[in-house]
């Protein structure tokens, strides 16, 4: 079974991106992936600061998240958009995880040898696509990760989910399914 990790870059109560992450996790499971759905709320970390790292080392939660990344063949990140970029929470997570290097490991081990998908949701009309550009840049150019082009963007996210938390729009559901299928297919070939 293909192991896929799913998380959202927002931990806000009622987060639209967390809702999309939940729908994506259910869709991946329906497609026979072995899904781990986590919340970054369970892995609090200080804002990255080189002095803090030099004095105290990396937070335990950075190590835990790095090991989570390494234990999965695919990772689906749902990225909210703040000022046409990525949320501090998600960027901080990417940055801390990029710093963890266990004994004998090459740098950026969490980002290599697995495949990433990026989706987004926003109440606005662009569906958070500009945050995806920033996340894709950090993952692929910054960390050397393989990121698939398939995605699901949910615009008008405040109206996009029904009472059960499912996506109302059939076309949007289709893009999510295609993204999940592609992630599983690519991840399956890797490890």
- In angstroms, the CA 43 to CA 65 distance is 8
CB of 123 to ligand FMN, least distance (A): 6
Instruction: Please say which residue, 73 or 87, places its beta carbon nearer to ligand FMN.
Output: 87
- Of 167, 177, 180, 91, the C-alpha closest to 127 is 167
Site for ligand FMN in 70-109 (CB under 6 A): 80-84
Which of 73, 92, 93, 122 touches ligand FMN by CB under 6 A?
122
Going residue by residue from 38 to 77, which x/- string records binding to ligand FMN, judged by CB under 6 A? ----------------------------------------
Closest CA to 21 of 189, 190, 136, 154: 154
List the end-to-end C-alpha distance of the chain, in Å, as a whole number.
11
Determine the interface stretch with ligand FMN among 24-32, 97-105, 121-129, 138-146 (rule: CB under 6 A).
Answer: 121-129
Please tell me the distance from the alpha carbon of residue 64 to that of residue 166, in angstroms, as a whole number: 30
Tell me which residue of 143, 72, 139 sits closest to 106, measured CA to CA: 143
Residues that bind ligand FMN (CB under 6 A): 10, 12, 15-18, 80-84, 122-124, 126, 128
């Amino acid at each position: 079974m293909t192991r896929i990790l799913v998380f959202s870059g927002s931990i806000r109560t009622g987060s639209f991106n967390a809702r999309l992450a939940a729908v994506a996790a259910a869709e991946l499971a329906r497609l026979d992936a072995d899904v781990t759905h986590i919340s970054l709320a369970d892995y609090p970390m200080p804002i990255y600061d080189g002095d803090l790292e030099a004095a105290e080392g990396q937070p335990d939660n950075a190590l835990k998240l790095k090991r989570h990344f390494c234990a999965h063949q695919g990772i689906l990140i749902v990225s909210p958009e703040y000022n046409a970029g990525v949320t501090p929470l998600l960027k901080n997570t990417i940055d801390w995880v990029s710093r963890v290097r266990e004994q004998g490991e090459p740098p950026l081990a969490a980002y290599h040898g697995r495949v990433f998908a990026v989706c987004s949701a926003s109440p606005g009309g662009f569906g958070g696509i500009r945050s995806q550009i920033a996340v894709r840049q950090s993952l692929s150019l910054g960390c050397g990760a393989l990121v698939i082009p398939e995605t699901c963007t949910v615009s008008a996210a405040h109206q996009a989910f029904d009472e059960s938390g499912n996506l109302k729009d059939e076309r949007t559901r289709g893009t999510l399914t295609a993204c999940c299928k592609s992630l599983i297919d690519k991840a399956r070939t890797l490890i």
